[in-house]
Chains A and B, each alone.
Chain A
Amino acid sequence: MRHDPAPGRPVTRRGLLAAAAALPAAALLPGCSDGRRRSAGGRITLRFQSLAWQQDSLKVNKQLVAAWNRQHPDIRVQYVQGAWPTVHDQLLTSFEGGEAPDIIHDASDDLADFAYGGDLADLTALIPPRLKRDIPQRSWDTGTFNGRIHGVPFLQEPRVLIANRAELHRSGVRIPTPEHPWTWPEFEEAAQRLTRGTTYGIAWPLKEPVSATLNLALSTGGQIFHRRSDGKVEVRFDTADQRVPRTIHDQVNVHRSASRTTLGMGGSDTLPGFFAGRYAMVPLGFSYRQQIAQQAPRGFDWTVLPAPKGTALDQGVSPQTLSIAEDCPYKEEAMAFIDFFLSPPNMVRLALGDWLLPTGQEALKDPALRVARYDWATGTALAASLRSAPAQSVRGYPEWKDKIATPGLQEYYSGAIGLDTLRKRLVEDGNLVLARYQR
């Protein structure tokens, strides 16, 4: 071991350390801007956060933004990619931090907190007459909170029955159409006739049972959330509300025409079993057709059937929406972009890219959405029966759903509890939750 350090070496080491510390700092310098480039040389920049995620949909979104930027050099739109699973948390903190995108893509059932919290602009007076006329009132209702429009609904998804056509023909059941759908008793009977050997008539993927149950319950007149004359909302679980849950419960536990194992699955999880002939029908969102078209074995013949009808064919939906942040200083320009983005031809492209239905009446008339291929025509015929999901404007709904309804319905569908216990939980426990939000 040497006794004396070489003269000057500590200095060298310090120098090295300083250089090492400076390197990362230097690398970070270009990232120090705050990212809110609002105006540059008279040109404004709007940030559009899109949640498009499928290949075709992404392409269309980016193409439309590029087309807008070509046509409007003074109002540049910057495409920002968001994601469905994280959009709520991301928006929540963005609003808090004053860093929210100007134009926001989301779903109508996610808007309530932001709309009531003053984070989203009131679009009522900004919406151009063409766009207002094109989208029907039942769809506007989905983006309206306290009488103010906070989201422009543009894509919607009915829940349909995707069926194995060979099994349908073998069983001899009547094939339902949008004009002559099955009634709920007919549906129950069809599921029983389709059940044979190791094949179940139906597989309910109910990992998230609440929205499926509530939305389908509209067909039997079920509301579950009832608005009183004083404006407050209360939960009820009356006969009309019980019809759909009881059907699912009986199919699983009494008739054995529905698979028990799929109750805990998501929609995609049931597809391998569907392709393998384990289930003759699967209730899924309309957009699952894309996954089925991509993944189904060659020669597998499938079809789309309308959901069963009760007193009406109605069902609840929570359309995808476009909103404008309250903080956005260029709301009119942002609305001009939305108007461009949702022009009828563009809405058709967006719908085809996402395998969903447009809300615009003009877009719905487009021949591309009325073809028999992939049963587009069946979905388009159902568009008129889509209503605002019963729960979407109810404050406290997310907590009711997570703490009360999801476990309650899961236990009921699996046969662990009866209808009375379920009713008690949904109503008594549920109203306690809602009361906290309505003081």
Chain B
Amino acid sequence: MNATERADGSHPRSVPPGAADVRTPRRRKGSPRRHLTPRRTATRTGQYAALLGYLAFLAFPLLWLLSTAFKPPRELGSLHPTWIPEAPTLDNFRQAFAQQPLAAAAGNSLLAAAVSALLAILLATPMAYVLARVRNRLSRAATGWVVISQAFPLVLVIIPLFLILKGLHLVDSRIGLIMVYVVWSLPFALWMLTGYVRAVPRELEEAAAMDGAGRLRTLVSVTAPLLAPGIVATALFAFITAWNEFFFALVLLKSPEKQTLPVVLTHFLGAEGVADLGPLAASALLATLPSLLLFAVIQRRITGGMLAGAVKS
């Protein structure tokens, strides 16, 4: 049987084998319609209700942020706040941009996040391939170490890391920050990508080799396209980790012109938890937009990629 042929003899559609098809299967012509029994109906209703509740739980902070960003100060001090601002205003956005260099900070965050995500992918992809394809004691130990490295909390590494970067004159340097972001996201990226590589059937590569393709050709033309959803999902993970990261940026960057968005957002906070709530909400809303947009644009690919990494071929 050809490696790309299914067990039932049918041929795959254009969905790559690495990406699971999450669409609901179409009902075949002529097959009997499945009637829902009352019990199944109740179960399904309960499932949807639970899903709705979970979605509301997830969406609440974002919707509240959206609402707060457009509220004037008097509505922020109301004991009975409304979801929809009674007198919506853009003053919070104007004030936020007037007070702090949000655009420059967003540029810094974008640079750090994009470069670190790119580097993490460039490093993690070949490493993941080797870890997935080469099964020996060393690869098992390396995989174990990758998993263990996730257990170290940030506070444990920050001081040694700071001293190392200080010795390399990389404190207050964008390069230093990006190096940290790459190192910080690399283990998880590696772990994710290893799963994706394992999901690509080895038989495909063997078939390519039998057709005369060299190692590099096989990797580039066969394996890489199938890994694309996984690479996109991993890159997105690395990007968002760096985009949202606060503590490293706070500790490592000193010059105001290099500060990233999460650090600049704290400038709307005063002592003892007092906050300039309107401009803070407006800025925070703007800070969440890139993540939201990225997810919206490539959500389908991510879903496929995540599922691909989750199941065995």
Interface residues of A (CB under 8 A from B): 1, 3-5, 10, 13, 17, 20-21, 24, 27-28, 31-32, 34-35, 53-55, 58, 79-86, 89-90, 93-94, 96-99, 101, 107, 207-208, 266-268, 271-273, 275-276, 278, 285, 288, 291, 294-298
Contacts and interface: CB of A to CB of B under 8 A. Distances in A.
A266 B269 CA distance: 13
Nearest to B269: A85
Contact of A83 (B73, B111, B269): B269
A318 to B, nearest CB: 10
B253 to A, nearest CB: 9
A413 B119 CA distance: 53
B100 interface: yes
Contact of A90 (B111, B212, B251, B276): B251
B300 interface: no
Interface in B213-248: 213-214, 216-217, 220-221
Task: Name the residue among B81, B254, B269 with the largest chain A CB count within 10 angstroms.
Answer: B254
Contact of A96 (B81, B98, B162, B211): B162
A97 to B, nearest CB: 4
Given A24-B119, A58-B99, A83-B266, A275 B77 contact: yes
Interface string B108-128: 000100110011001000000
A431 B236 CA distance: 51
A40 to B, nearest CB: 16
A28 B274 contact: no
A22 to B, nearest CB: 12
Given A81-B100, A93-B251, A97-B171, A272 B269 contact: no
A268 B275 contact: yes
A89 B251 contact: yes
B267 A53 contact: yes
Contacts of B258: 31, 35
A431 to B, nearest CB: 27
A256 to B, nearest CB: 21
B78 A272 contact: yes
Nearest to B175: A28
Interface in B263-285: 263-264, 266-277
28 contacts: A1-B208, A3-B212, A5-B213, A5-B214, A20-B118, A24-B119, A31-B173, A31-B174, A31-B258, A34-B172, A35-B254, A35-B255, A53-B268, A53-B270, A53-B276, A55-B95, A81-B256, A81-B264, A85-B269, A99-B254, A272-B79, A275-B77, A276-B79, A291-B274, A294-B74, A295-B76, A297-B78, A298-B74
A96 B169 contact: no
B166 interface: yes
B250 interface: yes
Contacts of A81: 100, 256, 259, 264, 267
A295 B77 contact: yes
Contacts of B269: 53, 83-85
Contacts of B163: 96
Contacts of B214: 5
B125 to A, nearest CB: 12
A54 B276 contact: yes
Nearest to B166: A97
Contacts of A295: 73-74, 76-77
B178 interface: yes
A406 to B, nearest CB: 13
Nearest to B169: A34
Contacts of B212: 3-4
A276 to B, nearest CB: 4
